Amino acid sequence: MSQDHSKSKIANYISKSAIIGHNVKIWHFAYVGDDTEIGDNVMIGSLSHIDYKVKIGENSRIEGSVYIPPLTIIGKNVFIGPGATFTNDPYPMSPKMSGVVVEEGAIIGSRAVIKPGVRVGRDSVVAMAAVVTKDVPPKVVVMGHPARVKYTREEYDKKKADWLSSN
């Protein structure tokens, strides 16, 4: 339950009922709501809003200006790019909410939007600015409005390796 406050004291709000793992870094102007659980070695970027009753698995990285609503579950080793928005109310303002589930090893690109009740499968990639309206199978890449499967995670990893090895 220790926190690295070296980078988290400036104007953050972290609920007293939040459970924060070891070696968690919470950058400036972030919000962490009631009954949220954050695993070890998590990084939360500046201006992010992690609402109440959210669960974030260890070794996950949430970049700046991300909104994660109540009832969301994020697995281990997940990356969420800047400005991504998860939603939990399919018919605003409704008293019934439905969280998003992001399984282990998934990548959510910058400015992606994910509809309530959606499950993003293990090791999948949601491209930047994608609008995800239905479940994403494991080990695929989705993109577009609405998001559709474009290729496999294996193809994504090869494209990434080729890009990293180029001049």
The HSE-up count of residue 52 (CA atoms within 13 Å, CB side) is 6
Intra-chain end-to-end CA distance of the chain, in Å? 44
Instruction: Kindly list the domain boundaries of the chain, sorted by start residue.
Output: 5-165
- Asked if residue 4 has pLDDT above 60, the reply is no
- Asked if residue 88 has pLDDT above 50, the reply is yes
pLDDT score at 6: 45
Pairwise CA distance, residues 84 & 63, whole Å: 9
Superfamily of domain 5-165: Hexapeptide repeat proteins (2.160.10.10)
* % of the chain at pLDDT higher than 90: 84
Mean pLDDT (whole number) for 136-150: 97
- Average pLDDT value for the chain: 93
pLDDT score at 110: 98
Give the ranges where the chain is alpha helix by DSSP (H): 153-165
Q: Which letter does DSSP use for residue 32 in this model?
A: E
